[in-house]
Structure 1
Amino acid sequence: MSADTHPTPVAEPGVAEPGPPPPSAPDPFVSVTGWGRTAPTTASVLRPRSPAEAAEAVRDWGVRGGIARGLGRAYGDAAQSAGGTVLDMTALRRIHAIDDATGTVVCDAGVSLHRLMEVLLPLGWFVPVTPGTRQVTVGGAIGADVHGKNHHISGSFSRHVHAIELLTADGGIHTVVPGTELFDATAGGMGLTGVILSATLQLHRVETSLISVDTERVAGLDDLMARLAATDHHYRYSVAWIDLLARGRSLGRAVLTRGEHAPLDALPARARRNPLAFRPGQLPAPPAFVPAGLLNRTTVGLFNEFWYRRAPRSRTGRLQRLSAFFHPLDAVPHWNRIYGRDGFVQYQFVVGHGQEETLHRIIARISRRRCPSFLAVLKRFGEAGPGWLSFPMPGWTLALDIPAGLDGLGAFLDELDEEVAAAGGRVYLAKDSRLRPELLAGMYPRLADFRSLRSRLDPCGVFTSDLSRRLTL
């Protein structure tokens, strides 16, 4: 579904995402890759149209196993299975029930966050957590336990899940609720405990589809971290774009953006006529072929300088559409093409409070290495969720994109991994395609519990991905 579809208000249950259902027959082996396009492999792709078809596929897909997949926005190799089967869940996309009194929705795992916004915003409800794209499915959001700009307030996606319908390796379908081992292994478990078929979610009440945004330009990293630590609790949403090419006194200069859902009385009279309208725009897609090396230190440096200088020194209360505030890149279809045929690495790590010197040191190393990144963001995380392999933990998280063809990139990121692990931090598995397995246990203390549960629940390795093989999950 395109990102410019207009909202379709509904109050009755049984709303299906528009468009004809894809065929259920398996495709021959085709190339499958993550959004970063760094580690393509081939697999048979099957698109079930019902839970029964999904269960049949799981029973029959052979010794190489397989993994469920949504809209393909995991950056790394988590939703691909070389030589096995990929279960494309996007045909299971019905919204079954909306309870306006309690703010809950029951929907299939293949429903996208974009579709939920289309349907729910006109009713005055918003998804509780959204990552940097709305083109992810509910199943993918739970499997990766995604986080957003409000983690310091709202936590990650799984905190707002009341129940999951999970198809396990034995072909059974189970209702899984928070507080159980299976829920904790599934939230952030990257699809390795089973296929999420549907979920019940708690929503967030809003009066408008606009965000009231405060923006300020910050001259350096120390000032940025001090402002985030001192004022984050005053805002539901908070994030900083950071210039990782800046050096010297400008190291870590940034544009700090924070926001709240705008109340109805903050809107001008014209906007109050339809305060819950959801009309995301769309720009032309980049060409299918982008020359290698287009994003280099010079071009990214020019972009970073422009982006920093165009930001206001201080501005409060500007009204922005939800799509512009949360998902600016969704306006550009196939924006991952701009990195050329080599693709890109999206590297994200978190280190705990008290490890500010580690964060400072890593940012200085990235700056000295002159990594050409123009999509770099710094946030503070709040409390960790229950997921055993869930990424967020209290502390500081930095995410950056790097062209995959950069000379020496693998060795450099290996060094950063070691520094993150030594500080008690971790990297984000939903964005990874290169982490060395020996570092994983130190990053995720509940890894042994996860492996033990998987061995009991799925002793034959029915659910297997390229990520799980590489990291022996």
Structure 2
Amino acid sequence: MPVPSATTVPVTGEGRTAADASADPTDASTDPTAAPLDRGSGPADLPSRVGPVTGWGRTAPTTARVLRPLTYEAAVAAVTGSDGRGAIARGLGRAYGDAAQNAGGAVLDMTGLDRVHEIDAVNGLVVCDAGVSLHRLMEVLLPLGWFVPVTPGTRYVTVGGAIGADIHGKNHHGSGSFSRHVRAIELLTGDGETRLVTPEDEPGLFWATAGGMGLTGVILAATLQLLLVQTSLMTVDTERATDLDDLMARLTATDDTYRYSVAWIDLLARGAKTGRAVLTRGDHAPLDALPATSRARRDPLAFRPGRLPAAPRFVPEGLLGRTSVGLFNEFWYRRAPRERRGELQRLSAFFHPLDGLPHWNRIYGRSGFVQYQFVVGHGQEEALRRIVGRIGARGCPSFLAVLKRFGEGDPGWLSFPMAGWTLALDIPAALPGLGAFLDELDEEVAEAGGRVYLAKDARLRPELLARMYPRLDDFRTLRATYDPRGVITSDLARRLAL
């Protein structure tokens, strides 16, 4: 497909008007149970509310004043006018734990800064506000033949959040994490200064910000390098793996021939079936892969994600227990083909199946859930086997468990990925003894030279952090340099002494 001839395409929009139609209603800032925003109750007369704020896991809400800046100047005023409890930026609320919470302080809802400023449709660059969601970028960019370089399991994350968590996707083994594709960041640091930060001019500040969980400052805008595509469909290969060793062998042997790769893994399977999985891999479909007379061929770059009704507000506790999840896992594994090649799938089905169910985090009941993700390096496969075996023996009812193979580690000082194996699983928070069990897994991960993902964490013990992230002291020193008063802070920062 030829590259669009226009060099730059300005795209404007004020406040939420451009994005309201596509914004996901599941973020905390638009939760109908939240107190309404009131004019004039925050710094610089920002709309604000005081109320509970929680992560996507819904496990540990704390009360904060939520401010919603609509301009860069308002964001500066919110940071410089914050009190002794400081401020932290928040996007669409998809961090599972307490990274975007700030008990007793200010939380900056950045979704009001949602403008796409400029697109270079020849070279594949976009300049946008930090509050723009990946969903919005897909809506704007796909008709021009461009796609975001990295996407996690949800497209309802903001660009600022994607950089702050240095998100990874199914293509990490070849493309690395999100921040590798960021060319510049406009960063408001705790000293009140706004800086244009690039990996060439200020590498320390840039790579501390990438994966720094928003603690080096408030990201206001970013310039991203995009991925050229011919269609909005994926060509997908699916196969079943009989156990964990079979799965790792398949990934090791052929993963590099695919752009995207992920495996759903049955963590309740025991014995010879331990670690059985459904492996799904693919790439963006070329135009000639689409049937000549199909609707997709007539409009190959159309973006039409589907949506189901939202999950009910109140879900009985224990709905996702060992029996129900065990039955689901058995069904899901047997439903998958032993081998299927070249299936065409929508982008939304391949990358973001759960986005089709708004408020899906409610299905765990009032107690919420813990999302636990760790990585161990190549050569530590035995540690991975032990952990998978322990999870199965413990009977942790997880139906959203995925295993991926990471490529080379990322430069971010607190970036999560490292070359090796990463396992992510969800566990109902009400499971008896869960905290002590996960503490034991933390120790085993640290002993193997691995780490847990801070964007999903809500309970890691601070004494393990330095063992997992060797540049932690450098990160703390840099924070003190750019934020001597400790203005930028969060519940996560206080809990882990970041």
> So what's the TM-score if we normalise by structure 2?
0.92
Partner of 1:200: 223
Deviations 1:342-370 (A, max 9, x none): 00000000000000000000000000000
Q: Does the 8 A contact of 1:143 with 1:186 survive in 2?
A: yes
Kindly state the Cα deviation for residue 28 of structure 1 after the two structures are TM-superposed.
3.5
For 2:138 and 2:315, the matched residues in 1 are separated by: 32
Deviations 1:1-58 (A, max 9, x none): xxxxxxxxx9731332334998673434200000000111000000000000000010
Partner of 2:396: 371
Q: Alignment partner of 1:12: what SS?
A: strand
Give the residue type in structure 2 aligned to 1:117: M
Q: Does 1:395 align with 2:410?
A: no
For 1:299 and 1:18, the matched residues in 2 are separated by: 38
Q: Does 1:44 align with 2:65?
A: yes
Q: Does 1:214 align with 2:237?
A: yes
For 1:169 and 1:459, the matched residues in 2 are separated by: 8
Q: Does the 8 A contact of 1:242 with 1:377 survive in 2?
A: yes
Q: Does 1:439 align with 2:440?
A: no
Structure 2 residue ranges without an equivalent (≥5): 1-6, 22-29, 31-36, 40-44
Q: Alignment partner of 1:101: what SS?
A: coil
For 2:365 and 2:357, the matched residues in 1 are separated by: 15
Partner of 2:193: 172
Partner of 2:9: 12
Partner of 1:231: 254
Q: Alignment partner of 1:171: what SS?
A: coil
Kindly state the Cα deviation for residue 314 of structure 1 after the two structures are TM-superposed.
0.2
Partner of 1:456: 481
Q: Does 1:423 align with 2:424?
A: no
Give the residue type in structure 1 aligned to 2:457: D
- Match among 375, 378, 387 for residue 362 of structure 1: 387
Partner of 1:312: 337
Q: Does the 8 A contact of 2:197 with 2:206 survive in 1?
A: yes
Partner of 1:5: none
- Match among 93, 104, 127 for residue 106 of structure 1: 127
For 2:19 and 2:363, the matched residues in 1 are separated by: 29
Q: Does the 8 A contact of 2:11 with 2:119 survive in 1?
A: no
Kindly state the Cα deviation for residue 456 of structure 1 after the two structures are TM-superposed.
1.3
- Match among 77, 84, 93 for residue 56 of structure 1: 77
- Match among 153, 156, 181 for residue 132 of structure 1: 153
For 2:121 and 2:188, the matched residues in 1 are separated by: 28
For 2:237 and 2:417, the matched residues in 1 are separated by: 25
Partner of 1:181: 204
Q: Does the 8 A contact of 1:26 with 1:44 survive in 2?
A: no
Partner of 2:24: none
Q: Alignment partner of 1:90: what SS?
A: helix
Matched positions, count: 465
1:83-98 matched pairs, under 5 angstroms: 83-98=104-119
Deviations 1:395-441 (A, max 9, x none): 00000000000000000000000000000000000000000000000
For 1:428 and 1:459, the matched residues in 2 are separated by: 27
Give the residue type in structure 1 aligned to 2:9: E
- Match among 95, 98, 110 for residue 74 of structure 1: 95
- Match among 249, 253, 262 for residue 276 of structure 2: 253
1:340-351 matched pairs, under 5 angstroms: 340-351=365-376
Deviations 1:287-323 (A, max 9, x none): 1000000100000000000000000000000000000
Identity of aligned residues (%): 76
Q: Does 1:338 align with 2:363?
A: yes
Quick check: 455-464 or 316-325, which moved more? 455-464
Give the residue type in structure 1 aligned to 2:19: P
For 1:210 and 1:14, the matched residues in 2 are separated by: 25
For 1:384 and 1:445, the matched residues in 2 are separated by: 13
Q: Does the 8 A contact of 2:19 with 2:136 survive in 1?
A: no
For 1:109 and 1:362, the matched residues in 2 are separated by: 37
Kindly state the Cα deviation for residue 103 of structure 1 after the two structures are TM-superposed.
0.4
Deviations 1:257-283 (A, max 9, x none): 000100000001212100000000000
Partner of 2:213: 190
In angstroms, what is the RMSD of aligned CA positions? Answer: 1.4
Partner of 1:31: 52
Partner of 1:143: 164
For 1:26 and 1:81, the matched residues in 2 are separated by: 18
> So what's the TM-score if we normalise by structure 1?
0.97
Structure 1 residue ranges without an equivalent (≥5): 1-9
Give the residue type in structure 2 aligned to 1:376: A
For 2:19 and 2:282, the matched residues in 1 are separated by: 32
Deviations 1:185-224 (A, max 9, x none): 0000000000000000000000000000000011111100
Q: Alignment partner of 1:348: what SS?
A: strand
Q: Alignment partner of 1:287: what SS?
A: coil
